[in-house]
Amino acid sequence: MHPRTAATLDELKRTRWFRCVGVQDTEAAVVLSSWYEAIESCNSCEWEDLCLEAANQLRERIAERSMERFQLWNQLATELRPIAVALATEKTKAVLEENELPETFLDTVKWDILHLLMEAEYADIYPPGFYASQGYWYVHGHFPCGWQGDFPKGTLIIY
């Protein structure tokens, strides 16, 4: 694991996620007012497609810039996946139980964290972007869960 990935992981570990859900503390995103809305938004085909496209774009940019490094993708993902899953599971446990959230919520968080770590691993090849912005919101106590408008124009949706 690259030191910058370890630093990203440390920052994620140090903060309490979801402490600001529903709090209107930013004008940089649309802030939802309930877990119901957040789950509905994160399960939308549009959001899932956008997150998948962001991951695909990351892989494509890395492959374009360094095929040698790109060929390490699966190895890195295999190394980082258990770390991302463990962290996501730990950080979501209380909120999952308290709010009786569906498994899809945890799956979304696992995906976000794994790809945030992958962006950090490859930051010297391609600058972190979409998933780094997701990480920002987790660290600041929110749940990034959708997009309003046509990407990249528009606004992120958080809870």
The one-character DSSP state at 90 is H
Distance between first and last Cα of the chain:
31
pLDDT at 123 over 90: yes
The pLDDT tens digits of the residues spanning 84-116 come to 999 999 999 999 999 999 999 999 999 999 999
Torsional sign, CA 29, 39, 95, 109: negative
Which residue matches tokens 């959001």? 47
pLDDT at 152 over 90: no
Q: Which of 68, 51, 66, 13 is nearest to 134 (CA)?
A: 51
Going by pLDDT thresholds of 50, 70 and 90, the confidence category of residue 10 is very high
Give the span between the Cα atoms of 92 and 113, in whole angstroms.
Answer: 12
**Beta bridge pairs of residue 157:** 30, 146
